[in-house]
Structure 1
Amino acid sequence: MWLITGASRGLGRAFAEAALAGGDRVVAAARNVAPLEELAGKYPDHLVSLSLDVTDRRAVVAGVQRAADAFGGLDVVVNNAGAMLYGMVEEATEEQIRAHLDVNFFGAVWVAQAVLPHLRARGGGRLLQVTSMGSGGGMATVGFYGAGKAALDSVSEALAMEVEGFGIKVTIVQMGGYDTGLFTAGMTTTEPLAQYQPLRTEMEAMWGDALAPEPHTAAPVIMELAALPDPPRRLIIGSQSFDHVLQMDRDQVELYRTWEQLSRNAPG
């Protein structure tokens, strides 16, 4: 049985459809479950829609219990709910920053905490923590998105070590760029400061107008990942994204090597 958060659109919806097509049962959680009505009609015995705001910790605990009760337990949990805060670091308000991290970081933590007792009681399970190919470093205009995903990366590494002894496998799923609606329906935008307009224009040109792949093209990889007896702790999703991440890692190593002597001038 699958529990998927952020399942009403984008990647979450694609993962839910793939699991259902494979004969699995799914609890699809989202703030607004109305978009799931058609899917529920198609799979009345295999899909349960769950209205859930992941930023509400008490609601998450109660919602996860309802999800476990729906089909008698949890096997695969996809921690996918997320949003985008677009703008320069200086431009973002305290309210925007806190609201963003409440979804992308704290919400994911609340879900992980709530599902662990259920997975442990079954003697194991899979927890897929959806982060980003860009979580290894910050980038202008999407700094807080990267920050939330980087924090989730770090916590998930620790979590994987903590729960492995219970038979629970945690995988950090570093998603590439897909046409998920994250930059439209899922986006909050800062109030632009004129001083950053040249950089904003440069970044928009860099993003370009190239069409991103449809979310359903990533779903087969997630299905295969969930079925692996010994899954990796991290997995990059997307061929181009794989190349980008490797290049970022090479650049980081080169930077460290360039300043190695200065680093070694201090003990410790």
Structure 2
Amino acid sequence: MAKTIFITGASRGFGKLWAEALLKRGDKVVATARNTDALSDLVKQYGNAILALELDVNDRAACFAAVEKAKAHFGRIDVLVNNAGFGLFGAVEETSEQEARAQMETNFFGLLWLTQAVLPVMRAQQSGHIIQVSSFLGLVTLPVLGLYNASKFAVEGLSETLATEVKQFGINITLIEPNGYTTDWSGASASQTQAMDIYNPVKQAFQEGATPDMWGKPEATIEAFLKVVDSANPPLRVLFGKVAYNAVKQVYGQRLASIEEWKDVSVTAHGH
């Protein structure tokens, strides 16, 4: 049965790739972007099956208005895919207030506004699926991506909590956690802090560690994404990419070992 899917950040990268895959198989898609010109090819090819909306996710009122338009146009929203976001590269100390706030505004607050806007629609339907495009960097961290890491950690905490609150309404939450892919996430979409030479060794080590095989192929996510969309019992979390899988498994093993090592201190700190 065809679904109606609302996707943010649909002008390029995962957003456009997934929107096209959904349209190709007969779903209806609400595709948002800051500039809808990038969606004109999909509109031309798929006509009434796609509703292209201009949207800056940082604008809370605009997020609510976009959801209202989508609901009025297609009658329902089965899936929300919060995909809009960007990467801020730079050491924590280098990051300006404006850069830090901009990173959180888009990656966290934009996602929150759309989530809040779609919840009344899905509650009324007694069904729905909210897919948050997080990152494996919402579970583990890399240097020179401190604010990006923080924004995705925030998305993880919000979404895990939300899942426990809305399950009663027939609404599922899924966090998709990709590793790096050969989209323009680290290129044209990215933002850079003003460099401090003192952090050059950390940045150099980071760049040298990024081998070509670390980057996944965006097209390979299509089948995985559709599997998540179609699942009757979708997972709360799903990693996309073998780098993400290996990194999270290793880091979580180390965390558990450290927790056990400090168990006596933890228990003593309880007081009784």
* Structure-2 separation of matches of 1:219 and 1:68: 25
Deviation at 1:153, TM superposition (A): 0.4
In the aligned structure 1, how far is the partner of 2:69 from the partner of 2:48?
16
Superposition pairs of residues 124-139 of structure 1, within 5 angstroms: 124-139=127-142
Does residue 1:89 correspond to 2:92, yes or no?
A: yes
Match of 2:155, as an amino acid?
A: L
1: CA distance between counterparts of 2:198 and 2:179?
Answer: 30
Give 1:183's match in structure 2, choosing from 180, 183, 186.
186
- Aligned: 1:25 with 2:28: yes
The TM-score with structure 2 as length reference comes to 0.95
Partner of 2:102: 99
Shift of 1:34: 1.3
Shift of 1:211: 6.7
The letter of the residue matching 1:125 is G
CA contact (8 A) 1:24 1:46 kept: yes
Percent of pairs with identical residues: 37
Q: CA RMSD in A?
A: 1.3
1:217 and 1:32 mapped to 2: Cα distance? 26
Match of 1:204 among 197, 207, 210: 207
Counterpart-to-counterpart distance in 1, 2:250 and 2:229:
27
Residue deviations 1:33-68, cap 9 Å, x none?
Answer: 211111111101211111100000001100111111
Partner of 1:118: 121
TM-fit CA distance, 1:217:
1.2
Structure 2 CA distance for aligned equivalents of residues 7 and 252 of structure 1: 36
- Name the structure 1 match of 2:39: 36
Q: What does residue 196 of structure 2 align with?
A: 193
In structure 2, what residue type is equivalent to 1:40?
V
Q: Please, which moves more after superposition, 175-184 or 24-33?
A: 175-184
Separation in 2, partners of 1:220, 1:68: 27
Gaps of 5+ in 2: none
Name whichever structure is richer in helix by fraction: 2
User: Does residue 63 of structure 2 align to residue 60 of structure 1?
Assistant: yes
1:257 deviates by 2.4
- Size of the alignment, in residue pairs? 268
SS of 1:264's partner is helix
Residue 52 of structure 2: aligned partner: 49
Residue aligning to 1:262 = 265
Normalised by the size of structure 1, how large is the TM-score? Answer: 0.96
> Which moves more between the two structures, 85-94 or 26-35?
26-35
Measure, in 2, the Cα distance between the counterparts of 1:30 and 1:248. Answer: 35
Following TM superposition, the consecutive aligned residue runs of length 4 or more in structure 1 with deviations greater than 6 angstroms are: none
C-alpha contact 1:104 1:149 (8 A) present in aligned 2: yes
C-alpha distance in 1 between matches for 2:198 and 2:54: 41
Counterpart contact for 1:18–1:220, Cα < 8 Å: no
Which residue type is aligned with residue 105 of structure 1? F
Task: Indicate whether 1:147 and 2:150 are aligned.
Answer: yes
Q: Secondary structure at the match of 1:256?
A: helix
